[in-house]
Amino acid sequence: MATPHNILVTGGAGFIGSNFIRYLFGKSTAEGDLFNDADFSGTVVNVDCLTYAGNLENLADVEAEFGGKRYFFEKTDICDSKEITRIFEHYNIDTVIHFAAESHVDRSILGPEAFVKTNVTGTFTLLEAARRYWTKDGSMRNDVLFHHVSTDEVYGSLGETGYFREDTPYDPRSPYSASKAASDHLVMAYHHTYGLPITLSNCTNNYGPYQFPEKLLPLMISNIKEGKNLPVYGKGDNIRDWIYVEDHNRAVWLIVNKGKRGEKYNIGGENEWQNIKLLHKLIELTAKETGKSVEEIEKTITYVKDRPGHDKRYAIDCAKIKNELGWQRKMTFEEGLKETVKWYLKNTSWIENILSGEYKNWIEKNYKEQGR
Among candidates 345, 157, 166, 326, which has minimal Cα distance to 251? 326
For residues 34 to 73, the per-residue mask of contacts with ligand NAD, x marking binding by CB under 6 A and - elsewhere, is --------------xxxx-xx-------------------
Binding range to ligand TYD, per CB under 6 A, among 10-18, 126-134, 225-233, 332-340:
225-233
CB 142, CB 172: distance < 8 Å? no
Binding range to ligand TYD, per CB under 6 A, among 12-20, 161-169, 189-197, 227-235:
227-235
For residues 77 to 116, the per-residue mask of contacts with ligand TYD, x marking binding by CB under 6 A and - elsewhere, is ----------------------------x-----------
Per the annotation, the verdict on 152 as an active-site residue is yes
Question: Rule CB under 6 A: is residue 223 a binding residue for ligand NAD?
Answer: no
Q: With CB cut-offs between 5 and 8 Å by kind, which of ligand NAD, ligand TYD, none does residue 13 bind? A: ligand NAD
| Measured distance CA(86)–CA(164) in Å, rounded | 39
Q: Which of 74, 77, 94, 246 binds ligand NAD (CB under 6 A)?
A: 77
Sheet with strand 95-98: strands edge to edge:
71-74, 43-47, 6-10, 95-98, 145-151, 198-203, 263-267
Per the annotation, the verdict on 48 as an active-site residue is no
Question: Rule CB under 6 A: is residue 269 a binding residue for ligand NAD?
Answer: no
Per the annotation, the verdict on 153 as an active-site residue is yes
Considering only CA atoms, give the Rg of the chain: 20
Nearer to ligand TYD (CB atom), residue 256 or residue 351: 351
Nearer to ligand TYD (CB atom), residue 82 or residue 305: 305
| Measured distance CA(326)–CA(260) in Å, rounded | 13
CB of 32 to ligand TYD, least distance (A): 27
Q: With CB cut-offs between 5 and 8 Å by kind, which of ligand TYD, ligand NAD, none does residue 24 bind? A: none
CB 268, CB 342: distance < 8 Å? no
| Measured distance CA(329)–CA(222) in Å, rounded | 27
User: Which residues have C-beta within 8 Å of that of residue 130, sequence separation ≥ 6?
Assistant: 88, 93, 96, 144, 146, 190, 196
Q: With CB cut-offs between 5 and 8 Å by kind, which of ligand NAD, ligand TYD, none does residue 315 bind? A: none
User: Which residues have C-beta within 8 Å of that of residue 114, sequence separation ≥ 6?
Assistant: 102, 107
Judged by CB under 6 A, the chain residues 199 through 218 that form the site for ligand TYD are 205, 215-216
Question: Rule CB under 6 A: is residue 238 a binding residue for ligand TYD?
Answer: yes
User: Which residues have C-beta within 8 Å of that of residue 85, sequence separation ≥ 6?
Assistant: 129, 132, 133
Per CB under 6 A, residues contacting ligand NAD are: 11, 13-17, 48-51, 53-54, 77-79, 99-103, 118, 122, 149-151, 180, 203, 205-206, 212
Binding residues for ligand TYD, rule: CB under 6 A, are 105, 205, 215-216, 219, 231-233, 238, 240, 275, 307
Catalytic residues: 152-153, 176
